[in-house]
Structure 1
Amino acid sequence: MNNKSLMAFFLGIILVSALSSRAGRNEQQKAIYRDSVFILKNAKVILSQNKIIASTGKIERVWKWTGNGLQTISLKDLLYNKEYAKISPKLRSDWSLPGAISDSSSAELMNVEVTQNNDEGLSNMHLQIISTIKYPGAKLLVQHIVWVYPDAVGVRTQLRIKALDGFVAKGIRDDEKKVNSYGYNMELAGPLCDYLPLNFTIENQRRYWGYYNNPGGRHDPSREMLQETVVSGYPVFLQEDNNWASGLSVEYNRGSEGVCVVKESPKCVNQQAHLTGSFYSGPEGLKVTGWGLGAEEIVPDRFRECWATWTILWNGGNDGMQLALKKFDRMRYPVFPGRDMFILSNTWGPADPDGARFTEEDFLMKEMPALADIGIDVMQIDDGWQKGGRSSGARDFEPRYKGGWKKLKEEADKYKLRFGLWITAKYATAEEMKKNIDSLGFVSWKVDFDQLHNRQDYEERIKKYRDVLRYGPMKTQFSLCPEYDDPRYGWYYSKEFGSIYFQNLQEGLPAHLTMVPYQVLRQHWLMAKYFNSDKLQVMLQNPKRTNAERSDATQHSHSYCFAMGVPFVPCFFQSAQFLDPQGKEELKGFIALYKKHREKIFTAYTFPVGDKPDNESWSGFQMVSENGVKDNYLLLFRELHNNEPIKKIRLKFLAGKSIAITNLQTGAVMIKNADSNGDISFTVKKPADFLFLKYNVI
């Protein structure tokens, strides 16, 4: 072991920052410690005896300095006193770069910094550990970053890389590689970004999951958004690799507890995006690859970020795993009701298939009072409002209307409506967005037609979004679009800026985008399993105007179709002017009821319950509050071809408990007792109808 490295570790300069509660500014205090302890509420970081011990109060992860890098030697659930790092680490460093940094590369630990950080207000406050390591032979500096949130069920790790004088990219392999072995192409791991010494010799199963991009191309029942595979069988003698999943849950004790690992990257099942790597489970433990940084992208003038990794501990079966994942996701990407909670309309909704004519000033002037009457909060003007170009070539994002925004803004203010605007991701500038915010006061941006092929593309977009958010904090936000089969943002990345735009839905053209209620409900139900619903903007169409030759939407009510979006960010992807009087009154009443409970729903954790929608089942959503006792909600749908007016639904976290239920549409109150499996019977008298319920645990 390198004496210089040890000295740097024990006597390193530690930067401790504390937030001033009054001024909201970081005050940094400089000190030298041999044994150092840093505390933020229940989170604690200890630097002692050549180790970094990071505790959230609920889980603890420990790294040891080896002279080659930092090595994970412990991963513990503190609440259940369960140790998951069960084998002696086979690797001396949690990271590697084939052709430059190997497990035997000599390294120097330059310093360790521990600070309080909240990522410019875009994440929850946490202790940030930055260890800077020099690799003289590779001519590289590596920063290993850990985010330790108080009371979190997980920790976040990330690498940053910088070139030193003399660095040469040639000969470095920055991706996975296929190696032919007796006619079979076996995968050789690429750059390692995280490592856990998990035991795959004892009883376990591996659950891989991921979501597809291009949701607009996944409307028929055979093309589900979620891919999920459970692999059983142990020991794992040969390395098991998976290159399509965003998450892996290693499940022990008959699936009742385990370790969940998520790649914070733009990876999708059908779109690898930029160097997002794989999961490798085997005799050495769990290896996570994919730096997201090509060798030619490593530069000498700054550190560049790699994709981050979440390590989450859970118990309570798959329900408990879903809850743990959603809780940590919300630590990383906080819920911002004041910024992101609204009912959005979008002018492209009635398109057939072109919707640009609905951006004309005369149409918008008629639309605003109609939207306000039924309770819409934000009118988003899609492609066509800008001065220059159309579709992917749109530029010059200033209003083309005579007199600019003046007339439309005055009318919107009269009806207390806010604005949203469509832009192209690449060509809209921060300056243009700021100018529109100045004119309109609030803007929700729909970001379209992006293609992100390399690290520079990601850096340019993120810089732009952060710049605009800093300029108008809580006055602007973004919905990023994963449409089309292009590398974009994925589902666990860039959610701090707003939400992810979901499927386009139309009334009739193009044909494959026609709204079919059970198919819409099916995809929403699948998305709710491993994704926080407050970050998904879903499109809600007018069922009575939908082409009856391609859909049974006309046999469903307006409120039924709107209710499918209640757990998410509802986008009224239609025109209020085109509602018939009955539909207008129905929606007006339901939206008013929903708004009374909206914030509690928005800040809850949403889970799919019942059966997967197939047009003849009972299905729905369970929305569980942070405390799980008060202010919980249920949406239960009896589908069109279902013949069961009474149905037992298995609810989560309620086994053996009694709940007081209020039917929010009728006001009826009842007490129901869940059996030992959490099953409770509900009644919906007719098909294509639903229940909107609130419950408290007694």
Structure 2
Amino acid sequence: MEKTSYSFQDCYAVLENGSLRIGNAVVERSWRMEGELPAVCSLKNKKTGKEWLDCGKDADWLCARKEKDAFFHEAFLSGKPRSLRMEAGSDDDCGIGREHLKAAVVLEYADCQLRWIHRIYPQTAVLRSCLQVVWKDGLGMKEQEEQCALTEEKPGEKREMLPAAGTQFYAPEPQGDYQDAFPLAPLHCKWKSVSFVDRTDDYDNLVHTDHGIFNRRESRYINGNLLFAEDPLDKEGLIFIKEGPTPLAYQGKVKADFYVKGNSVFPVGWGFDRTECSRAGALTAYGSSVVFWDGERGNASLALQDYHMALHSFSEQKDAFVMSNTWGDQSCDGRLSEQFLLEELEQAGRLGITLYQIDDGWQNGTSANSVNPGGVWNGYYAANADFWEVNPLRFPNGLEPVAAFAKSKGVRLGLWFSPDSSHEFANWKKDSETLIGLHRRYGIAAFKMDGVKLTSKVSEENLTKLIQQVLTETDGKVFFNMDVTAETRSGYYGRIHYGSLFVENRFTGNFGKWPNYYPHRTLRNLWMLSEYMPASRLQMEFLNVARNQELYEGDPLAPAVCGMEYSFAVTMCANPLAWMELTGLNEAEAKVLERILPQYRQVQSDLLSGYVLPIGEEPDGTAWTGFQSVKTEDKGYLLLIRENSSEETYRCQLRGLADCRLELEGILGAAGQRSVQVDGEGQAAFTLPGAFCYALYRYQVA
């Protein structure tokens, strides 16, 4: 085997002497390449010198696999590959991620080509990989056409929640596939799994964790995108990441994200089978990543944030904004017109809104959510060939006057859009052309992607192609709000790094039979997600709290009791979404936003570009809670929040700070303290004068 090597900055990929090595200045992984499949060999933290794998032991390995194969799929991979080569170059994933080395090891089999793709980021303790199968021409399985019918989810069909992680202690080994393998060497590791829930119209508990120790007599399947492994003796750890959807949206008969046998960890579930791949021509399995951390346990959170920042580089234009959208007042598309939008934009400019999103109703076609009957939620082009033209009745002059007025007010425009899910997004090219045209004609900066219904791995691939095409053709000038509120979608770790997440629909009016907007619940979801997701990629809503007060009568946590300023404040460590008709605000509420939004905007980008992590207690309506944005070792931001708590003072556990004095600069809220002492345990005392009160500080170690 001739030596092949590629490098980018400190990243490298080397194929020589029957082995493959990938890494950078801080981490390295290697495999033996002489068998039928690559075999795992080493996983090393070069910073600490720790070797994480023991490839000599057999007790924790899969009984059905004689070799320590790096991956496996019974439908594709059999026999020794006919040839093996490596190709590589620098890449930035359509301008979204940090520039990095992308190396593909290409294995040629009789009926398919396997591309084993690795991404290595400079000076970052993150290694990513995925497997792409390219079917060879003429080998489609026509004899199985009856199995190849396009997969369509039946109307009204829902996938139910799968059992929580770790409920099956003696689980049978995976027979069909796995996409990575980690036979861990340390004997005394602990583990923690994290599972996420989307479809937030139905669910309001979005983060679930489980934990335990690795035990050689136990085997289990784990549902969850994240699996933390910690060696308490060395104070080091790994984070295994399954890059895929939540359990509510698994494709291809996937039932779990990880299989753990003794001390060995296997990310499982490629997401497709031979039939689907032969029909599609090429498909990419769910990805596998490993993140290294060492030192105090809180460093694991920082390392996970580094992973996200590698995939999605922070951009002030795309990751720090205040958006408004009228849908929160529950008029649907009933009020949408040119005159209405001009009045809304006048108010947006006054208040300091930076991005105004026009929701469902701007288009010529009628969706199922319209106040008008006969709408569709799929098959848009079949229903109306001009579905995505501008509605001539509501906008007889087109969107040009609206776009021009928005520009004059310093407000960027966004649009609601629903890509056609029918036939596995077969119209993805047509949809991408529509979005590109809307951007070029009206300067649309953001598209809310709604109505997505993923029914197969093919549909996932086509939706990703749509997004990548738009990013490429617009030079990355647009971004996407990926709605995760309903149906079967990509969740939090399933190729959604191309934009932000529209997390939830919440309303002060009846949603079903009752209102479902409470500021403390919005805060709780942000607080729990921000431990594992960049807060800058989450959109969290605040509503017109003066509406529908009669539906909350006697409720001590009602939105009107919290007030407009507090309801906005709990979203400040995400991207705030004014989920309301701005023209429906009373003058008092409008003046509140007019006062605080410009002050917030002065620090928003700096605040969100740090490591934004939760501090304090889990919000429940009565807690002391908040967020810390870590900018450097000695400076950052603190958002302290006192819910309906009787305690005026609270000792808050801070992140990465101990035995120091902080100088505090008040920015917003009841930010009256000028300094605070942090004790040896990292705790500091803060005071807020009443319930539903907050303080935003910039801090500096004195």
- TM bin (shorter chain): 0.7 to 0.9
CA–CA distance in structure 2, aligned partners of residues 672 and 528 of structure 1: 25
- Tell me the amino acid that sits aligned with residue 104 of structure 2: I
Once the two structures are superposed, the pairs formed by residues 582-621 of structure 1 within 5 Å of their partners are: 582-621=588-627
CA–CA distance in 2 between the matches of 1:114 and 1:620? 44
- Which of 660, 683, 687 is the aligned partner of 2:687? 683
For each residue in 1:196-235, what CA deviation from the matched residue of structure 2 results, as whole angstroms up to 9, or x when unmatched? 12137x112221102101112234xxxx110111123x43
Q: Distance in 2 between matches of 1:217 and 1:300?
A: 34
Contact 1:349 1:573 in 2 (8 A): yes
State the Cα distance separating 1:100 from its structure 2 match. Answer: 4.5
3-state SS in 2 of match to 1:358? coil
Residue from 343, 368, 378 that aligns with 1:366: 343
Matched residues in 2 for 1:284 and 1:643: separation?
47
Does the CA contact (< 8 Å) of 1:339 and 1:477 recur in 2?
A: yes
Using the TM superposition, give the Cα deviation of residue 528 of structure 1 relative to its aligned residue in structure 2, in angstroms: 0.8
Aligned length, in residue pairs:
639
Q: What's the offset of the Cα at 1:592?
A: 1.0
1:117 aligns with 2:95: no
- Aligned match for 1:156, one of 117, 125, 128: 128
- Paired residue for 2:462, among 460, 463, 479? 460
Match of 1:18 in 2: none
TM-score of the aligned structures, taking structure 1 as reference length: 0.86
CA contact (8 A) 2:667 2:698 kept: yes
Unmatched 5+ stretches in structure 2: 62-66, 149-161, 163-169, 370-375, 381-386, 422-429
Q: Kindly indicate whether the alpha-carbon contact (under 8 Å) linking 1:109 and 1:131 is maintained by their aligned counterparts in 2.
A: no
Within the alignment, does 1:542 sit opposite 2:544 as a pair?
yes
Q: Once the 2 structures are TM-superposed, how far is the Cα of residue 365 of structure 1 from its aligned partner?
A: 1.8
1:496-540 per-residue CA deviation (whole Å, 9 max, x = no partner) reads 321111110112121455311211111111111111111111121
The one-letter code sitting in structure 2 at the alignment partner of 1:227 is: H
Aligned residue identity for 2:42 = S
Give 1:694's match in structure 2, choosing from 678, 683, 698: 698
1:476-495 equivalences in 2 (<5 Å): 476-484=478-486, 486-495=487-496
- The yes-or-no answer on 1:132 pairing with 2:100 is no
Report Cα offsets for 1:313-343 as digits up to 9, x if no partner.
1123442111111111210122222234321
User: For each residue in 1:606-651, what CA deviation from the matched residue of structure 2 results, as whole angstroms up to 9, or x when unmatched?
Assistant: 11110001111101111112x3333x111111011x1111100001
Aligned match of 1:328 in 307, 310, 317? 307
- Scaled by the length of structure 2, the TM-score of the pair is 0.86
Q: Secondary structure at the match of 1:633?
A: strand
Tell me which residue corresponds to 1:48: 16
Matches within 5 A, 1:651-690: 651-665=654-668, 670-690=674-694
Q: Is the 8 A contact 1:44 1:57 kept in 2?
A: no
Cα distance in structure 2, aligned partners of 1:190 and 1:257:
32
Give the conservation status (yes or no) of the 8 Å contact 1:540–1:571. yes
Alignment of 1:222-621 (within 5 A): 224-232=205-213, 234-242=214-222, 244-253=223-232, 256-266=235-245, 268-276=246-254, 277-283=256-262, 285-299=264-278, 302-351=281-330, 354-391=331-368, 393=376, 395=380, 396-400=387-391, 401-426=395-420, 429-484=431-486, 486-510=487-511, 511-550=513-552, 552-621=558-627
Give the corresponding residue for 1:69: 37
Alpha-carbon distance in 1 for matches of 2:574, 2:608? 7
Question: Which of 188, 195, 217 matches 2:202?
Answer: 217
Aligned to 2:69: 93
Give 1:660 shift.
1.9
Tell me, in whole angstroms, the C-alpha distance in 1 between the residues paired with 2:43 and 2:89: 22
Deviation at 1:467, TM superposition (A): 1.8
The one-letter code of the counterpart of 2:289 is W
Aligned-partner Cα distance in 1 for 2:619–2:496: 27
Q: For residues 600 and 255 of structure 1, do their structure 2 counterparts lie closer, same or farther at Cα, with a shift above 3 Å needed?
A: farther
Cα distance in 1, alignment partners of residues 319 and 643 from structure 2:
30
* Partner in structure 1 of residue 183 of structure 2: 197
The answer to whether the 8 Å contact 1:622/1:633 transfers is yes
Give the gaps of 5 or more residues in structure 1: 1-9, 12-33, 177-183
Would you say the 8 A contact 2:40–2:55 is kept in 1?
no
Helix, strand or coil at the partner of 2:530: helix
Q: Which amino acid aligns with 1:162?
A: V
Relative distance call for 1:215 and 1:189 in structure 2 (3 A) is: farther
Q: Do the aligned partners of 1:508 and 1:547 also contact (CA within 8 Å) in 2? A: no
Q: CA deviation at 1:274?
A: 4.4
Amino acid at match of 2:29: R
Bigger shift: residues 161-170 or 319-328: 161-170
Secondary structure of 1:537's counterpart equals strand
* Structure-1 separation of matches of 2:175 and 2:316: 41
State the alpha-carbon separation in 1 of the partners of residues 281 and 318 from structure 2: 32
SS at match of 1:157: strand
Structure 1 residue 457: Cα displacement: 1.1
Amino acid at match of 2:321: F
Amino acid of the residue matched to residue 217 of structure 2? Answer: F
Amino acid at match of 2:221: D
**1:348 aligns to what SS in structure 2?**
helix
Q: Determine the C-alpha separation between the residues in 2 that align with 1:609 and 1:301.
A: 46
- The answer to whether the 8 Å contact 1:143/1:161 transfers is yes
Asked if the contact 1:204–1:255 (Cα under 8 Å) also holds between the matched residues in 2, the reply is no
Residues 568-607 of structure 1, C-alpha deviations (whole Å, 9 max, x = no match): 1211101221222222221112111111101112211211
Q: Does 1:628 align with 2:633?
A: yes
Shift of the 692–273 alpha-carbon distance from structure 1 to 2, 3 Å rule, reads farther
Do residues 647 (structure 1) and 650 (structure 2) align?
Answer: yes
| Residue 109 of structure 1, CA deviation | 4.2
Paired with 2:434 and 2:102, the residues of 1 have a C-alpha distance of: 34
Distance 1:196 1:207 in 2: 16
Instruction: Report if aligned partners of 1:145, 1:157 keep a CA contact under 8 Å in 2.
Output: yes
**CA distance in structure 1 between the partners assigned to 2:190 and 2:548 by the alignment:** 44
Q: 1:216 to 1:697 in 2, by over 3 A?
A: farther
Cα distance in 2 for partners of 1:101, 1:168 equals 16
CA apart distance, 1:255:
9.3
> How far is the alpha carbon of 1:135 from its aligned partner?
3.3
CA contact (8 A) 2:76 2:274 kept: no
Give the distance between the partners of 1:493 and 1:513, measured in 2 at CA. 30
What does the per-residue CA deviation read over 1:272-330, in whole Å, with 9 as the maximum and x for residues that have no partner?
Answer: 34455431112471111111222112239954211111111112344211111111121
CA contact (8 A) 1:76 1:84 kept: yes
Give the superposition deviation at 1:241: 1.5
* Aligned twin of 2:424: none
